[in-house]
Amino acid sequence: MSTAENLQWSLIVPVKVLARAKTRMSATAGPHRESLALAVATDTVAAALRCDRVRTVIVVTDDPLPAADLAALGARVVPDVPDAGLNPALVYGAARGRELAADAGVGALSADLPALRPRELALVLDAAADAPEAFVPDAAGTGTTLYTTRPGVAFSPAFGADSRAAHRARGARELALPGTDTVRRDVDTLDDLRAALALGTGPRTAAVAANLPALA
């Protein structure tokens, strides 16, 4: 078997405090905005936990509501101790992952992938196992939905504006594989949500989306 077939992963999923989540959807989601943010994160983590390449999902959050829900699914939850922004939170989570499993790869996974399929995530992680650093660009082609490092490789994510370009500039291998649309389909806007629903989201997102007038 190849290294790619053997390597297991610890995935770090950052989850915003719900009051600050999905703000770009405030007008369309209205009173359902926080419920939508929680549903999307829950479906994302549930799918990641069902992927047989994933040994552990570590959620970094300071919000007790998603912390409780995601821990109930089987994720390990840690607080955002650095409280210094997204990338420091991911580095902190990755350090916890390496304490738990030094022989596993580490990846930072967006919490905004409600259509995520475990099989597609496995395809991407197997490809990532062949590179010291790798990343998956988002559907829009400017951002990143997954950043990975092999065991022993420094974990230095560059999420933020134009993160695709930033990760490429650092020498990370870009993984835009055919048949992995659900790993790239993050949700920030109503159109994103429509696209995710067309792919088929998890049950929590589908249930909240059914209550949105904009999707009626």
Residues placed in the known binding site for phosphoenolpyruvate:
144, 160, 163
- Kindly calculate the radius of gyration of the chain based on its CA atoms and give it in whole angstroms: 16
Element (H, E) at 76: strand 76-78
Task: Tabulate helix, strand, coil % of the chain (nearest 5).
Answer: 45, 15, 40
Binding-site annotation, residues: 144, 160, 163
**Cβ atoms within 10 Å of 3's Cβ, excluding its own:** 10
What lies within 8 Å, CB to CB, of 42 at 6+ separation is 66, 69, 70, 73, 202, 204
Are the beta carbons of 122 and 183 closer than 8 angstroms? no
Amino acid making up residue 105: G
